[in-house]
Amino acid sequence: MASLPAQSVISLQILVLFVASVCVHDCIGGVIESRKLREFDYFALALQWPGTYCQRTRHCCSSNACCRGSNAPTEFTIHGLWPDYNDGSWPSCCTRSNFDIEKISTLLDDIQKYWPSLSCGSPSTCHGGKGLFWAHEVNTKKHGTCSFPVVRDEYEYFFATLNLYFKYNVTKVLSEAGYVPSNTEKYPLGGVISAIQNAFHATPSLSCSHGAVEELQICFYKDFKPRDCLIGSTTRTDVLSSASCPKYVSLPEYVSPGLKNGDAAFPWLPQHEAL
Ligand SMILES: *[C@@H]1O[C@H](CO)[C@@H](O)[C@H](O)[C@H]1NC(C)=O
């Protein structure tokens, strides 16, 4: 008799924790503040192409993986795992939980390697502060905390994201289809999309900057099986969901920010700005 009521009390407390404490500050943009906390519909695993992002690096700092020289990432890296609604909006700042790097200490090597920040800025967190890139991914904009009840805590969020990333290796799929990093080649957008469709049986969504692939999303049902990123009535969802990309896209090779201008010593930000 003793054990059941005790468990119920604990799960009620957990539920209250997640539901009652919603973020009311600093939730910006096309974001649904999760006061009413409707459960999300699907996950998007957002990946960044360093070859495109690192072209923008104007100064260096310790947090920016573009500045790692020969250790800089040369494959798609993780931006975040984002819970989304089918209507194109997404929940944000669902719970008032603070990012705690201690909780993911066993994952940190992989996180630093495969989930690096590609800039020097410190993104905003839910509670009006600034924080690490990962704190932002957990707390604000598209949110780990909104992945409840599928992903229950910070550790699970990072663990699930890394697992998806290892299992669905976009860089590998593209290179096997002949789409390898190049500063001269352009590849048909339709071909890039088909290569991923063939490999994962789901349609990705891409975004481009000046004709170069910048971000690529692959999407998942809540049981982590792949699904199309945009489910619409139109038959051309593949093209629509990649509207910022031209018909032929590039996949630029990584160029070290220091070498690009021929500057031997490119400017580094002081450490406190590098957070
Ligand atoms: C993806 O596959 C490539 C081989 O094409 C490999 O070098 C890379 O380590 C793989 N990435 C991950 C995260 O497993």
**HEC-encoded secondary structure of 96-147:** CCCCCHHHHHHHHHHHHHHCCECCCCCCECCCCCECCHHHHHHHCCCCCHHH
pLDDT, residue 129, reads: 72
User: How many whole angstroms separate alpha carbon 3 and alpha carbon 12?
Assistant: 14
Question: Which has the closest alpha carbon to 223: 42, 84, 88?
Answer: 42
Locate the domains of the chain by residue range: 54-250
- What is the dotted CATH code of the domain comprising 54-250? 3.90.730.10
Task: From residue 273, give the alpha-carbon distance in Å to each of 53, 80, 81, 101, 128.
Answer: 19, 23, 26, 19, 17
Q: Is the CB of 172 under 6 A from ligand 1?
A: yes
Instruction: Say what the pLDDT of residue 147 is.
Output: 84
Q: Are 105 and 117 in contact (CB under 8 A)?
A: no
* Ligand 1 neighbour 167 (Cβ under 6 A): no
pLDDT of residue 144: 66
Q: How far is the CA of 171 from the centre of ligand 1 (A)?
A: 7
Candidates 49, 113, 166, 172: which one to mutate for ligand 1, based on the most atoms within 8 Å of Cβ? 172
pLDDT of residue 204: 95
- CA-proximal residue: ligand 1, atom 6 (nearest): 172
Report yes or no on whether pTM surpasses 0.85.
Answer: no
Instruction: Report CA(86)–ligand 1 centroid distance (Å).
Output: 30
Residues of the chain with pLDDT under 70: 1-37, 96, 127, 139-144, 231-241, 258-275
Residue 221 CB–ligand 1 contact under 6 Å: no
Q: What is the rounded CA–CA span in Å between residue 125 and residue 171?
A: 30
Q: Which two tokens stand for residue 204?
A: 């990705």
Residue of the CA atom closest to atom 3 of ligand 1: 172
- CB of 176 within 6 A of ligand 1: the answer is no
Which atom number of ligand 1 is nearest to the Cα of residue 165? 13
Q: Is the dihedral of CA 159, 80, 43, 34 positive or negative?
A: positive
79 catalytically annotated: yes
Pocket test for ligand 1, best of 163, 169, 174, 175 (most atoms within 8 A of CB): 169
